[in-house]
Chains A and B, each alone.
Chain A
Amino acid sequence: MPPTTNRQLAVRLAVSRALGRTRDPDGVYGAALEALSECLNVSRASVLLFDPEGVMRFKAYRGLSREYRAAVEGHSPWTPDSVGAEPILVPDVTCEPSLRQYLPVFTRERIVALAFIPLVSLGRVIGKFMLYYDAPHAFDDEEIQLASVIAAAVAFAVERGRADEVARRSEAAPGFEPSAPPVGISRDVSALWAAEAFQAGQRQVLEMIATGAPLAQVLTLLVHVVEDQCEGIVCSVLLLDADDVHVRVGAAPSLPDEYSVRIDGQPVGPRAGSSGTVMQVGQPIIDTDIVCHCDSRWDVLREAAVATGLRACWSTPIPSTHKKVLGSFAMYCRTPRGPSREELRLIETAADLAGAAIDHHRSQLALRQSEERNRAILRAIPDWMFVMSSDGVFLDYHVKNPEALLMPPEAFLGKSMHEVLPTWLADAHQRAFERALATNEPERLEYSLEEHHERRFYEACIVRADGDRLLSIVRDISDRKHAELDAAAQRQELAHLNRVLILAEQSGALAHELSQPLAAILTNAQAARRLLDQSPLDLDELRGALDDVIKNDKRAGTVIHRLRELLKKSTTVLQPVDLNEVTREVLDLTHSDLLLRRMPITTALSPEIPPVLGDRVQLQQVILNLILNACDAMSTVAPAERELTLTTVADDGFVQIAVADRGVGIPEGQLDSVFDPFVTHRAHGLGLGLTISRSIVLAHRGRIQAENNADRGATFRCFLPVVNGQASAALASSHD
C-alpha cells in the first residue's frame, strides 16, 4: 500500500539524513538506535559489528545489562563472509532450539522475543542489529522492512566512516600503502573512493525521489550513476506495466533508440531479452554471451544488441516492498563474460534503488489518483460543504453551483453565521455545533427558507472535522419534502373522504343522537308551558324543565360540533390527547348505532394511561373505523355471541388501544393485507377504513397490527407514542 512505501521512504531519508550529519562512528550507532526505537517502537535494541577477528562486538545498545552483554557477545548467526543474509526472527526464544544455551540469560534479562537484522555492506555481513521484546512478538513485514532499511543505511554509514579514516590516513601520509587492509575492510582505497562517489550518486537519486521528480528522470540518473562506476558498461531499467503483462522502457539512455523501440510493449516472457524474462521468473539471469546464446529470448533483440556492440547481459528483477516484481535492472557488457562480484552488488543496489523510485512513484500516482477521485466525487455530489469554526465562522466552502447559494461566497467567507444567517437558523446551527463537538457524532438539522417566493427545504449534517472545526454538509431536500407534503395532503384528503363515508353510513345513528336532545328540549318546553298554567305554580318542577332544556340544547350542540369536526377538512393539529377521552367521544357518537346493530360493547379503559401526541379528530376516526370493522366482522354472528371490547393500556412508551371482536376473524394469510386499500369483506364502504387508519397511526409515529384471537374473532391493536420531549419535538418539526 502506498502509505507503507511512503513511510519506508521517509524512514530511509530520515535515517540517511541523520547518519549524514555525523561522521563519528559512535554518533552513527546512536542515530541508528534512535531511528530504530522511533520507527519500530522498540525500547531495547543494540548494534554489533564484527571486529577484525570476526567476533561480534557491541557497538551501541539501549536497555541491556552488562551481564547480558558479556554473556551474548560474540554470538552471531552469520560469519563475516556470509552472503545473502536475511533477518532472523525469533517470536519466542523458548521455542528456538538454537538459542537454548542462552535461555537463562534471556530469562534474567526478561527477553522473550528477538530479531537479528544483518548489517550488509557491499553484499557482506559486517554486523547486526538486535531488537528485543519482553513478550512473545509476532513480527510483521513492515517492521522488518523498516529495520532492514535502517540497517542498510547504517551499514553504509559504517563503511563510509571507515573510508573516511583510510582517506585521512592516506592524506596524512602521502604514498602510504596500507600493508594490511584497514579494520574490517578488504578492499583497496580506489574501490572505496568509487564507493564514496556511488554513495553521492545514490543520495542524489534518493533526493530526486523525495522531491517527486518524474520517474524517467530518476531512473535515468540512476543508470548514469551506475554506468559511471563501471568501465564499458551500459545499463537499462525496464518496467512491468500495470497490466503485469507488458514491458515498458523505464530508462535506457545509453542504448540505441531501436533497442528501446523493439523492447517497449513486448509481452513479458521468453522473447523479451533476459531483462524481460527476469520479470517473469523473478530471478537474476546472467547471459554471458548474447550472440552465442541459443536461447530464443534474444531473437527479437539480438540484432539491436549486437549492432551496438553489446555481448553480455546481466539482469536482476526489481523487487517492490510488496515482494512483487516491478521491473528489471540490466547491465550490458561489450565483452562476452559474467559480472564481477562488484558488478553484481552494484546491480542489486541499483535494482533496490530503482524499486524505491518506482514504489514511490506509484504510491504518489495512487495518491494523486485518489485525490483526483475525491475531487471528482466532490464535483459530482450535489451537496454543499462548508468548513466552519466552532464559533460559527465560515472558513471554506465547496459548492458545485455557487450561484444557487443564498449569497455569493465572498459575502459569507470569514464572517460569522450570526452575521449572515437569520438569527433562528444561526442559533439552531450553534446548538448543533455544540452537540457535535460534545458527542463527536454527526448532528442533523432540518430547516426551510423562503426564497424567491418559494419555500425550500434543507438538511444539514454537521460533523466534527479536525480539531474544533466543523464540516456542515447541506443538501437541498425540497423535492423530497414537497413530495412528502403532497403525500400528507393526499392522506388528509383520503382521511376526509373516509370520515364523510363513515358519517353517511352512520346518518341514522347521528340523527338519533340529535333527535334525543331535541325531543327532550321540546317536551320539557311544552311541559313548562303547561306548568305555568297551573296554580299554585310548581316552581321546582318548572325550573327543572328549563334546566333540562338548557342541558339538552348543549347536548345537541356538542353532537353538532363533533360532526362538524369530523366533516371539515382540517389540517393536522397535534396536541396531547387522552385516548380514553377520545374513545368515550367515539362511543357517544356510535352508541345508538351499536345498540341498533345489537353490538354489546365492553370497555376496559386503564385510568393510568399517559397522554399521547396526536390529532384528536384523526384518532377518533381510527377508533371509529376499528369499531365499524369489528361490527361488520360480527354481523353474521348470532347476537348473543357478539362481544366488542375496547381496551386501553400503557405499554412501554406507547399507549395501546385494542379493539377486539368475536366475529369471523381474518382469513389465514391476510393478516398483513387487511390494511391494504380495497381489501374489504364489507358489503358497503370502499374498504379504505383500515388503510386510512394505518396511515393515520403511522403519521403519528405509531403502529397498528391485526391478529386473530385464540378462540374466535380478531383484535386490532394501535400503539401510539406517549408525549415526551423528544416525540413532541419530532412531531412538531415534521409539522413545521
Chain B
Amino acid sequence: MSELRAELGVYPYVPAVDTEGETALSEMTNPDPLNLVVVDDDEEVRTALRRLLRAMGHTVRVFASAEEYEATPVAADCLIVDLRLPGLNGFELLERLRLRGSSTPIVFITGDGGPSPNDTTAHAGTPSLAKPFDEHDLIAAITRALSAAQESAP
C-alpha cells in the first residue's frame, strides 16, 4: 500500500508513458490512501477496477450508473467514470457536478477508442483512458486529475 501512496505523492506529474518499469512501482510510497468512486455500467469492468484499486490501498465505491451515484453521493477524492453510460453519460455527470459547484477530479474511461490518455478533452483537460488501459496509465491519469484540481482551486 505504501508504494501507491509514494507513487501518487512523489510522482504526481509523471506521464504514464514514462514509467520506469515495474520495479519502480514497488519502491513507490503513497502516504495518502484515496477515496475513489468508479461509475461503470459493465459489472466486469467495475469489479476489476475495484479489485485493482483496493490492491493499491485505496478505498473504492462502485456504481452502475450516474443516476445511482447521484442518489448516493459519497465524498470522493476522484471519480473514475465510464463515458458511455445508460441514462446520464460521463460528460453530463461532469457538467452537473460542476454546475453544483463540485470540483471533484474526474478521470474518464471509454470503451470505444475515445480520446487517448494524454489528450485533453473539451471538458477542461479531464484525463481520459481508452479501455483496455494499463494500471500505470490509470495511476497517471488519477494523479493528473488531482493536480489539475489543485491548480484550478482558488
Contacts and interface: CB of A to CB of B under 8 A. Distances in A.
Given A519-B48, A523-B49, A595 B84 contact: yes
Interface stretch (A316-324, A397-405, A528-536): A528-536
B110 to A, nearest CB: 8
Nearest to A596: B84
A342 to B, nearest CB: 117
A46 interface: no
Nearest to A551: B44
Interface string A517-552: 111111110110011011000000100110010011
A527 B52 contact: yes
B96 interface: no
User: Which of B26, B52, B86, B113 gathers the greatest number of chain A CB atoms within 10 Å?
Assistant: B52
A518 B52 CA distance: 15
Given A530-B52, A531-B55, A592 B44 contact: no
Interface string B37-73: 0000110110111011011100000000000000000
A555 to B, nearest CB: 7
Interface of A: 508-509, 511-513, 515-524, 526-527, 530-531, 533-534, 541, 544-545, 548, 551-552, 555, 592, 595-596
Interface string B116-134: 0000000000000011111
Given A511-B111, A515-B111, A527 B84 contact: no
A526 B135 contact: yes
Name the interface size band of chain B.
Answer: 20 to 34
Nearest to B113: A511
Interface string B10-52: 0000000000000000100000000000000110110111011
A530 B52 CA distance: 8
Contacts, number: 88
B145 interface: no
9 contacts: A508-B112, A512-B84, A516-B45, A526-B135, A527-B54, A530-B56, A534-B55, A541-B55, A592-B111
Contacts of A541: 51, 55
Contacts of A508: 112-113
A527 B52 CA distance: 4
B85 interface: yes
B113 A516 contact: no
A interface SS class: helix
B93 to A, nearest CB: 14
Contacts of A518: 131-132
Contact of B51 (A515, A519, A544, A555): A544
B26 to A, nearest CB: 7
B112 A523 contact: no
A509 B112 CA distance: 7
Interface of B: 26, 41-42, 44-45, 47-49, 51-52, 54-56, 84-86, 109, 111-113, 130-135
B130 A526 contact: no
A544 B54 CA distance: 14
B114 to A, nearest CB: 10
A96 B27 CA distance: 133
A506 to B, nearest CB: 10
Contact of A512 (B26, B54, B112, B133): B112
A521 B133 CA distance: 10
Nearest to A530: B55
A511 B112 contact: yes
A552 B112 contact: no
Nearest to B4: A530
Contact of B111 (A512, A522, A527, A544): A512
Nearest to B136: A526
Contacts of A531: 51, 55
Contacts of A592: 84, 111-112
A523 B135 CA distance: 7
A541 to B, nearest CB: 7
Contacts of A517: 44
Contacts of A526: 52, 134-135
A541 B134 CA distance: 20
Contacts of B131: 515-516, 518-519
Given A520-B44, A551-B44, A596-B84, 18 more contacts: A509-B112, A512-B84, A512-B112, A516-B42, A516-B44, A516-B111, A516-B131, A517-B44, A518-B132, A519-B48, A519-B131, A521-B132, A522-B134, A523-B52, A523-B132, A526-B135, A531-B51, A552-B44
Contacts of B48: 519-521, 523-524, 527, 545, 548, 552
Contacts of B132: 515, 518-519, 521-523
B52 A548 contact: no
Nearest to B83: A596
Contacts of B112: 508-509, 511-512, 515, 592, 596
Given A511-B113, A518-B131, A523 B84 contact: no
A555 B111 CA distance: 15
B84 A519 contact: no
A333 to B, nearest CB: 118
Contacts of B51: 523-524, 527, 531, 541, 544-545, 548
B50 to A, nearest CB: 9
Nearest to A518: B132
B108 to A, nearest CB: 13
Question: Which 5 A/B pairs are nearest by Cβ-Cβ distance?
Answer: A519-B131, A523-B48, A527-B52, A530-B55, A512-B111
B24 to A, nearest CB: 14
A548 B113 CA distance: 23
User: Which of A509, A515, A533 gathers the greatest number of chain B CB atoms within 10 Å?
Assistant: A515
Contacts of B85: 595
A520 B85 CA distance: 17
Contacts of B130: 515
Contacts of A548: 44, 47-48, 51
Nearest to A594: B86
User: Which of B48, B86, B135 gathers the greatest number of chain A CB atoms within 10 Å?
Assistant: B48
User: Which of B44, B86, B130 gathers the greatest number of chain A CB atoms within 10 Å?
Assistant: B44
A527 B45 CA distance: 12
A91 to B, nearest CB: 89
Nearest to B43: A520
B4 to A, nearest CB: 9
A646 B104 CA distance: 40
A520 B45 contact: yes
A683 B130 CA distance: 29
A545 B49 CA distance: 10
A521 to B, nearest CB: 7
Contacts of A544: 51
Contacts of A530: 52, 55-56
B28 to A, nearest CB: 12
Contacts of B134: 522, 526
Contacts of A523: 45, 48-49, 51-52, 132, 135
B5 to A, nearest CB: 14
A531 B56 CA distance: 9
B142 to A, nearest CB: 14
